[in-house]
């Protein structure tokens, strides 16, 4: 059996630390089955950077192989091009995107350096699977070094409409480089369709009947592989003593009132200010909820070195203050806003104590919180998901209440529907969602992607041989 080589910006952990998300678990499972390497950035800055030694930890079966970056690499590749250019453009925020030639060069340089270091670890029958927007040109870098192995790519974030992507300088070259992959997986059908349309309209690729793209002698499989969570595992976490403690503590604090929960990294794509305003609108338009319903927002900071992130943090603090100042009562605080992080178990317990999950990103590749919330519910008395139509998860979760996150009125009205939904309807909707989430879980996502990659790897070989 071929070894699997996973490439992602951050690697690990190999063991369940209580904090690892479903993605890490699915990848470690896939790596353990096939044996292989997880390759990426160490998280360290050093003077040698990508010229330093590859550090290896783990067993012979599954190895973590990591490289440092220099400060200049980190600034150009990670802070610069990945997070100040690609992230905003791919989330439809051209107003926040920075177009800097040096950052773009740094991004390409780091991809080349990572590829060169990975090449020295490769065997001829390894299967390579790269992840996310840090590695759009990675296969092209490897191909230029005559690596012939099957290489797949999964994009965790949205792929924007061609009209938006066209604003990115050198977008066509970037998409052309992406076609050096054998398989490109997207979160949703919409993302895959956007990619195909750009490739056809802007670089003259041909679309085959099955949606594959053909350019020159290469064929690239382009498909949606919606990512899942370890649903049964997460459901079990929700009944651990640690989870129960968090459920009980929250319920005690609520004293018969209901809670709406939001859980998101602080990021402008998550629609947090819009969400707080919609919650304010709920209290305004449906005053019977005053004193009875609160919003718990868990929002750990991320990418704090970027101005746009510091700004949104300030905005959230101000909004919390405004809404709480306006509506709070002696024994009731409308918004509880927390920036700390929780273990998976504690989080599962908090989901379980909440009647509604409010998941309203302005754009999101998938959004795993919506799925985790469903997995953590009690079958006999489950809660309701209010979900943005702009989350990839909306394609699969039609039994949620689907909303436009830009409309405070629409979100408030759907919150009201969720809060007053009869038990029978809550159960029916939840059961349909839970069954689907269990079926399309993280393991089946990894299997489906790797099956497509193994298949296509063989296909290209046959074509080359003939």
Q: Note the residues at the interface with ligand ADQ (CB under 6 A).
A: 21, 23, 156-157, 227, 263, 265, 298, 300, 341-342, 347, 364-369, 372
The residue among 60, 87, 215, 100 whose CA lies nearest residue 157 is 87
- Least Å distance between CB 364 and ligand ADQ? 4
Nearer to ligand ADQ, 341 or 455 (CB): 341
Sign of the CA dihedral 300, 306, 308, 312? positive
**Residue 246 a catalytic site member:** no
What's the min distance (Å) between Cβ of 207 and ligand ADQ?
Answer: 25
- CB of residue 48 to ligand ADQ, shortest distance in Å: 30
The single residue of 91, 134, 156, 246 carrying the catalytic annotation is: 156
Considering beta carbons, is residue 73 or 267 the nearer one to ligand ADQ?
267
Is residue 381 annotated as part of the catalytic site, yes or no?
no
Smaller CB separation from ligand ADQ, 372 or 399: 372
* Three-class SS of 372-405: HHHHHCCCCCCCEEEEECCEHHHHCCCCCEEECC
Of 68 and 230, the one with the shorter C-beta distance to ligand ADQ is: 230
* CB closer to ligand ADQ out of 9 and 50: 9
Nearest approach in angstroms of CB 277 to ligand ADQ is 21
β-bridge mates for residue 416, sequence order: none
Write out the two tokens for 326.
């306006």
Q: What is the closest distance, in whole angstroms, from the C-beta atom of residue 395 to ligand ADQ in the complex? A: 12
Residue 56: CB minimum distance to ligand ADQ, A: 26
- Residue count of the chain, please give it: 466
Tell me the three-class secondary structure of 242-302, residue by residue: HHHHHHHHHHHHHCCCEEEEEECCCCHHHCHHHHHHHHHHHHHHCHHHCCCEEEEEECCCC
Q: How are beta strands 213-215 and 218-224 bridged, if at all?
A: antiparallel
Residue closer to ligand ADQ by CB (options 82, 298) is 298
Closer CB to ligand ADQ, 235 or 366, in the complex? 366
Which residues does 271 contact at the CB level (< 8 Å), separation at least 6? 360, 361, 362, 388, 405
Query: Given the DSSP bridges, would you call strands 335-338 and 293-298 parallel, antiparallel or unpaired?
Result: parallel
Which candidate, 458, 460, 453, places its Cα nearest to that of 185?
453
CB nearer ligand ADQ, residue 49 or residue 262: 262
Q: Where are the alpha helices (DSSP H) in 159-263?
A: 162-165, 171-178, 189-203, 231-237, 241-254
Strand partners, 130: 7, 153
What dihedral do alpha carbons 7, 9, 15, 17 form, nearest 10°?
-160
How is residue 333 written in tokens?
């605080």
Beta bridge partners of 297: 262, 337
Q: How far apart are CA 158 and CA 87, in angstroms?
A: 9
DSSP-assigned letter for residue 53: P
Beta carbon nearer to ligand ADQ, 82 or 147: 82
- CA 30 – CA 40 distance, rounded (Å): 17
> φ and ψ at 130, to 5 degrees?
-95, 150
Q: How far is the CB of 132 from ligand ADQ (least distance, A)?
A: 8
- Which positions ≥6 away from 54 have C-beta within 8 Å? 65, 66, 67, 117, 120, 121
Alpha-carbon distance of 133 to 56, in angstroms, equals: 24
Residue 109 burial (10 A CB sphere; 0-12, 13-18, 19+): middle
Catalytic residue among 73, 230, 364, 441: 364
* Active site residues per annotation: 156, 364
């Amino acid at each position: 059996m071929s070894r699997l080589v996973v490439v992602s910006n951050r690697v690990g952990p190999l063991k369940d630390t209580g904090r690892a998300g479903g993605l890490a678990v699915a990848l470690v499972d896939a790596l353990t089955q096939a044996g292989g390497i997880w390759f990426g950035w160490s998280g360290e800055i050093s003077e040698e950077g990508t010229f330093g030694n590859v550090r290896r930890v783990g067993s012979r079966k599954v190895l973590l192989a990591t490289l440092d970056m220099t400060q200049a690499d980190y600034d150009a590749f990670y802070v610069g091009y990945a997070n100040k250019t690609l992230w905003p453009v791919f989330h439809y925020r051209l107003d926040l995107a920075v177009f800097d030639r040096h950052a773009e060069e740094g991004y390409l340089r780091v991809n080349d350096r990572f590829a060169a270091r990975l090449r020295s670890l490769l065997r001829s029958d390894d299967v390579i699977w790269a992840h996310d927007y840090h590695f759009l040109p990675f296969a092209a870098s490897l191909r230029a070094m005559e690596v012939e192995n099957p290489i797949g790519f999964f994009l965790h974030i949205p792929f924007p409409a061609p009209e938006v992507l066209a604003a990115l300088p050198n977008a066509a070259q970037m998409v052309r480089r992406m076609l050096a992959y054998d398989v490109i997986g997207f979160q949703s059908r919409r993302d895959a369709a956007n990619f195909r349309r750009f490739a056809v309209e802007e670089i003259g690729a041909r679309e085959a009947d099955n949606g594959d793209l053909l350019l020159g002698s290469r064929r690239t499989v382009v498909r949606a592989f919606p990512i899942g969570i370890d649903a049964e595992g997460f459901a079990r976490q929700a009944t651990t003593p640690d989870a129960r403690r968090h459920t009980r503590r929250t319920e005690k604090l609520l004293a018969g009132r209901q809670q709406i929960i939001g859980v998101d990294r602080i990021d402008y794509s998550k629609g947090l200010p819009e969400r707080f305003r919609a919650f304010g609108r709920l209290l305004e338009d449906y005053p019977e909820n005053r004193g009875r319903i609160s919003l718990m927002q868990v929002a750990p900071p991320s990418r704090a070195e970027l101005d746009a992130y510091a700004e949104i943090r300030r905005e959230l603090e101000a909004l919390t203050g405004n809404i709480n100042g306006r509506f709070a009562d002696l024994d009731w605080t409308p918004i509880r806003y927390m920036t700390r992080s929780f273990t998976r178990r504690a989080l599962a317990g908090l989901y379980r104590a909440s009647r509604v999950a409010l998941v309203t990103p302005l754009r999101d590749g998938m959004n795993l919180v919506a799925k985790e919330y469903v997995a953590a519910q009690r079958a006999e008395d489950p809660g309701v998901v209010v979900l943005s139509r702009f989350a990839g998860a909306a394609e699969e979760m039609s039994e949620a209440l689907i909303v436009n996150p830009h409309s405070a009125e629409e979100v408030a009205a759907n919150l009201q529907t969720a809060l007053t939904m009869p038990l029978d309807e809550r159960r029916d909707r939840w059961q349909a969602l839970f069954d689907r989430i269990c079926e399309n879980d993280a393991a089946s996502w990894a299997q489906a992607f790797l099956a497509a990659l193994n298949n296509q790897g063989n296909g290209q070989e046959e074509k080359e041989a003939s």
